[in-house]
Structure 1
Amino acid sequence: MMSEAQSQLATYRQVIDSFDNALVYILAERFRCTDEVGLLKAKNNFPPVDPDREARQLSRLRQSALDSNVDPDLVESLMKSIMKEVVLRHGQIAAEYAAKQR
Protein backbone atom coordinates (compact mmCIF):
# COMPACT_ATOMS: atom_id res chain seq x y z
CA MET A 1 0.00 0.00 0.00
CA MET A 2 1.28 3.46 -0.91
CA SER A 3 1.87 5.87 1.95
CA GLU A 4 0.55 9.40 1.86
CA ALA A 5 4.09 10.68 1.27
CA GLN A 6 4.60 8.26 -1.63
CA SER A 7 1.29 9.31 -3.14
CA GLN A 8 2.19 12.98 -2.82
CA LEU A 9 5.60 12.29 -4.38
CA ALA A 10 3.93 10.51 -7.32
CA THR A 11 1.60 13.49 -7.80
CA TYR A 12 4.50 15.96 -7.75
CA ARG A 13 6.36 13.82 -10.27
CA GLN A 14 3.37 13.83 -12.60
CA VAL A 15 3.24 17.62 -12.41
CA ILE A 16 6.99 17.85 -13.05
CA ASP A 17 6.63 15.51 -16.04
CA SER A 18 3.92 17.79 -17.43
CA PHE A 19 6.16 20.84 -17.01
CA ASP A 20 9.02 19.00 -18.71
CA ASN A 21 6.77 18.15 -21.65
CA ALA A 22 5.66 21.79 -21.83
CA LEU A 23 9.27 22.96 -21.82
CA VAL A 24 10.08 20.65 -24.74
CA TYR A 25 7.04 21.90 -26.65
CA ILE A 26 7.95 25.54 -25.99
CA LEU A 27 11.53 24.88 -27.06
CA ALA A 28 10.30 23.26 -30.30
CA GLU A 29 8.10 26.29 -31.00
CA ARG A 30 10.99 28.63 -30.26
CA PHE A 31 13.20 26.74 -32.71
CA ARG A 32 10.48 26.89 -35.38
CA CYS A 33 10.44 30.66 -34.97
CA THR A 34 14.21 31.07 -34.89
CA ASP A 35 14.49 28.85 -37.99
CA GLU A 36 12.31 31.41 -39.77
CA VAL A 37 14.63 34.14 -38.50
CA GLY A 38 17.58 32.14 -39.87
CA LEU A 39 15.95 31.90 -43.29
CA LEU A 40 15.17 35.62 -43.28
CA LYS A 41 18.78 36.37 -42.36
CA ALA A 42 20.05 34.07 -45.12
CA LYS A 43 17.80 35.66 -47.74
CA ASN A 44 18.91 39.16 -46.76
CA ASN A 45 22.58 38.48 -46.03
CA PHE A 46 22.18 39.48 -42.41
CA PRO A 47 24.90 38.31 -40.01
CA PRO A 48 24.09 35.04 -38.24
CA VAL A 49 24.73 36.54 -34.80
CA ASP A 50 23.57 39.82 -33.29
CA PRO A 51 25.77 40.26 -30.19
CA ASP A 52 23.87 43.34 -29.02
CA ARG A 53 20.55 41.48 -29.17
CA GLU A 54 22.04 38.50 -27.33
CA ALA A 55 23.40 40.76 -24.59
CA ARG A 56 20.03 42.50 -24.20
CA GLN A 57 18.23 39.15 -24.09
CA LEU A 58 20.56 37.72 -21.46
CA SER A 59 20.26 40.85 -19.33
CA ARG A 60 16.46 40.84 -19.61
CA LEU A 61 16.24 37.13 -18.82
CA ARG A 62 18.61 37.42 -15.85
CA GLN A 63 16.31 40.10 -14.43
CA SER A 64 13.28 37.95 -15.14
CA ALA A 65 14.98 35.07 -13.32
CA LEU A 66 15.70 37.29 -10.32
CA ASP A 67 12.08 38.51 -10.33
CA SER A 68 10.92 34.87 -10.41
CA ASN A 69 13.32 33.68 -7.70
CA VAL A 70 15.25 31.50 -10.15
CA ASP A 71 19.05 31.37 -10.27
CA PRO A 72 20.02 33.90 -12.98
CA ASP A 73 23.26 32.01 -13.67
CA LEU A 74 21.24 28.89 -14.44
CA VAL A 75 18.93 30.83 -16.76
CA GLU A 76 21.89 32.46 -18.50
CA SER A 77 23.60 29.10 -18.96
CA LEU A 78 20.46 27.54 -20.42
CA MET A 79 19.87 30.47 -22.74
CA LYS A 80 23.47 30.49 -23.94
CA SER A 81 23.09 26.81 -24.79
CA ILE A 82 19.87 27.52 -26.68
CA MET A 83 21.43 30.49 -28.47
CA LYS A 84 24.41 28.37 -29.48
CA GLU A 85 22.05 25.82 -31.03
CA VAL A 86 20.18 28.60 -32.84
CA VAL A 87 23.41 29.93 -34.35
CA LEU A 88 24.33 26.42 -35.53
CA ARG A 89 20.89 26.02 -37.08
CA HIS A 90 21.17 29.44 -38.74
CA GLY A 91 24.45 28.32 -40.28
CA GLN A 92 22.78 25.18 -41.63
CA ILE A 93 19.85 27.17 -42.98
CA ALA A 94 22.18 29.68 -44.66
CA ALA A 95 24.19 26.87 -46.27
CA GLU A 96 21.02 25.16 -47.53
CA TYR A 97 19.67 28.46 -48.87
CA ALA A 98 22.97 29.25 -50.61
CA ALA A 99 23.02 25.78 -52.19
CA LYS A 100 19.51 26.32 -53.59
CA GLN A 101 20.56 29.63 -55.13
CA ARG A 102 23.28 28.05 -57.26
Structure 2
Amino acid sequence: MSDEPTAEHTLVGDEQALQRLRELRGSIDNLDAALVHLLAERFKCTQQVGELKAAHDLPPADPAREADQIARLRRLAEDARLDPAFAEKFLNFIIEEVVRHHRAIAARPQQGGGNRR
Protein backbone atom coordinates (compact mmCIF):
# COMPACT_ATOMS: atom_id res chain seq x y z
CA MET A 1 0.00 0.00 0.00
CA SER A 2 1.37 3.40 -0.92
CA ASP A 3 1.60 6.31 1.49
CA GLU A 4 1.09 8.75 -1.38
CA PRO A 5 -2.14 10.74 -1.23
CA THR A 6 -4.87 9.76 -3.65
CA ALA A 7 -6.57 12.22 -5.97
CA GLU A 8 -9.71 11.90 -3.88
CA HIS A 9 -7.79 12.74 -0.72
CA THR A 10 -6.15 15.73 -2.39
CA LEU A 11 -9.47 17.03 -3.72
CA VAL A 12 -11.35 16.86 -0.42
CA GLY A 13 -13.05 20.22 -0.09
CA ASP A 14 -13.31 20.72 -3.83
CA GLU A 15 -16.49 18.76 -4.33
CA GLN A 16 -16.98 19.91 -7.91
CA ALA A 17 -13.56 18.67 -8.99
CA LEU A 18 -14.03 15.43 -7.03
CA GLN A 19 -17.40 14.81 -8.70
CA ARG A 20 -15.89 15.47 -12.14
CA LEU A 21 -13.03 13.07 -11.39
CA ARG A 22 -15.56 10.38 -10.45
CA GLU A 23 -17.54 11.00 -13.67
CA LEU A 24 -14.43 10.77 -15.82
CA ARG A 25 -13.30 7.60 -14.09
CA GLY A 26 -16.76 6.12 -14.59
CA SER A 27 -16.44 6.84 -18.31
CA ILE A 28 -12.99 5.24 -18.36
CA ASP A 29 -14.36 2.15 -16.59
CA ASN A 30 -17.17 1.88 -19.17
CA LEU A 31 -14.72 2.25 -22.04
CA ASP A 32 -12.43 -0.40 -20.53
CA ALA A 33 -15.40 -2.78 -20.31
CA ALA A 34 -16.30 -2.06 -23.94
CA LEU A 35 -12.70 -2.71 -25.01
CA VAL A 36 -12.71 -6.09 -23.25
CA HIS A 37 -15.98 -7.06 -24.93
CA LEU A 38 -14.74 -5.90 -28.33
CA LEU A 39 -11.52 -7.88 -27.90
CA ALA A 40 -13.53 -10.95 -26.93
CA GLU A 41 -15.59 -10.60 -30.13
CA ARG A 42 -12.44 -10.11 -32.18
CA PHE A 43 -10.89 -13.26 -30.71
CA LYS A 44 -14.05 -15.23 -31.48
CA CYS A 45 -13.57 -14.28 -35.14
CA THR A 46 -9.85 -15.02 -35.14
CA GLN A 47 -10.57 -18.39 -33.49
CA GLN A 48 -12.71 -19.25 -36.51
CA VAL A 49 -9.95 -18.06 -38.83
CA GLY A 50 -7.51 -20.33 -36.99
CA GLU A 51 -9.86 -23.29 -37.36
CA LEU A 52 -10.26 -22.59 -41.09
CA LYS A 53 -6.51 -22.22 -41.57
CA ALA A 54 -5.82 -25.47 -39.74
CA ALA A 55 -8.47 -27.34 -41.73
CA HIS A 56 -6.89 -26.20 -45.00
CA ASP A 57 -3.22 -26.44 -44.00
CA LEU A 58 -2.69 -22.70 -44.17
CA PRO A 59 0.12 -21.14 -42.12
CA PRO A 60 -0.84 -19.64 -38.72
CA ALA A 61 0.69 -16.26 -39.62
CA ASP A 62 0.06 -14.11 -42.68
CA PRO A 63 2.80 -11.44 -42.72
CA ALA A 64 1.36 -9.59 -45.75
CA ARG A 65 -2.08 -9.34 -44.13
CA GLU A 66 -0.51 -8.28 -40.84
CA ALA A 67 1.50 -5.51 -42.55
CA ASP A 68 -1.64 -4.28 -44.31
CA GLN A 69 -3.55 -4.27 -41.04
CA ILE A 70 -0.80 -2.35 -39.26
CA ALA A 71 -0.68 0.28 -42.01
CA ARG A 72 -4.50 0.55 -41.93
CA LEU A 73 -4.58 0.88 -38.14
CA ARG A 74 -1.87 3.53 -38.20
CA ARG A 75 -3.98 5.58 -40.64
CA LEU A 76 -7.06 5.14 -38.46
CA ALA A 77 -5.05 6.19 -35.41
CA GLU A 78 -3.81 9.33 -37.14
CA ASP A 79 -7.38 10.22 -38.14
CA ALA A 80 -8.50 9.67 -34.55
CA ARG A 81 -5.59 11.71 -33.15
CA LEU A 82 -4.15 8.66 -31.43
CA ASP A 83 -0.42 8.03 -31.50
CA PRO A 84 0.10 5.69 -34.49
CA ALA A 85 3.12 4.10 -32.82
CA PHE A 86 0.95 3.18 -29.83
CA ALA A 87 -1.74 1.78 -32.14
CA GLU A 88 0.88 -0.31 -33.92
CA LYS A 89 2.27 -1.68 -30.64
CA PHE A 90 -1.26 -2.54 -29.53
CA LEU A 91 -2.06 -4.34 -32.80
CA ASN A 92 1.28 -6.18 -32.78
CA PHE A 93 0.47 -7.44 -29.29
CA ILE A 94 -2.92 -8.69 -30.49
CA ILE A 95 -1.43 -10.25 -33.64
CA GLU A 96 1.17 -12.14 -31.56
CA GLU A 97 -1.62 -13.56 -29.40
CA VAL A 98 -3.74 -14.50 -32.43
CA VAL A 99 -0.82 -16.26 -34.13
CA ARG A 100 -0.08 -18.11 -30.88
CA HIS A 101 -3.70 -19.31 -30.82
CA HIS A 102 -3.53 -20.29 -34.51
CA ARG A 103 -0.39 -22.33 -33.88
CA ALA A 104 -2.09 -24.10 -30.98
CA ILE A 105 -5.12 -24.86 -33.15
CA ALA A 106 -2.90 -26.17 -35.97
CA ALA A 107 -1.02 -28.40 -33.53
CA ARG A 108 -4.07 -30.21 -32.22
CA PRO A 109 -5.46 -33.26 -33.99
CA GLN A 110 -8.15 -32.27 -36.51
CA GLN A 111 -11.64 -33.69 -36.20
CA GLY A 112 -13.94 -34.39 -39.08
CA GLY A 113 -13.01 -34.50 -42.74
CA GLY A 114 -10.56 -31.64 -42.96
CA ASN A 115 -7.72 -31.55 -45.47
CA ARG A 116 -5.00 -32.20 -42.89
CA ARG A 117 -2.11 -34.33 -44.13
Q: If the TM-score is normalised by the length of the shorter chain, which range does it land in?
A: over 0.9
TM-score scaled to structure 1, two decimals? 0.93
Q: CA deviation at 1:20?
A: 0.1
Question: Which residue of 2 is the match for residue 87 of structure 1?
Answer: 99
CA distance in 1, matches of 2:84, 2:16: 35
CA distance in 2, matches of 1:94, 1:54: 19
CA distance in 2, matches of 1:7, 1:36: 44
Higher relative contact order (CA 8 A, sep 6+): 1
Q: How many residues align?
A: 100
Name the one with the larger helix percent. Answer: 1
Deviations 1:14-55 (A, max 9, x none): 000000000000001100100000000000001111111000
CA distance in 2, matches of 1:35, 1:53: 16
Question: Which residue of 1 is the match for residue 3 of structure 2?
Answer: none
Question: Which residue of 2 is the match for residue 77 of structure 1?
Answer: 89
CA distance in 2, matches of 1:51, 1:68: 25
Unaligned 5+ residue runs, structure 1?
none
CA distance in 1, matches of 2:49, 2:98: 10
Larger radius of gyration: 2
Q: CA deviation at 1:5?
A: 0.3
Unaligned 5+ residue runs, structure 2?
1-12, 113-117
Determine what percentage of the aligned residue pairs are the same residue.
45
Structure 1 runs of 4+ aligned residues shifted over 6 Å read none
Read off the aligned partner of 2:86 and give its amino acid letter: L
| 1:28 aligns with one of 20, 40, 58 | 40
Is the contact made by 2:55 and 2:110 (CA closer than 8 Å) also made in structure 1?
no
CA distance in 1, matches of 2:52, 2:33: 29
Over the aligned positions, Cα root-mean-square deviation in angstroms equals 1.4
Matches within 5 A, 1:1-102: 3-96=15-108, 98=109, 100=111
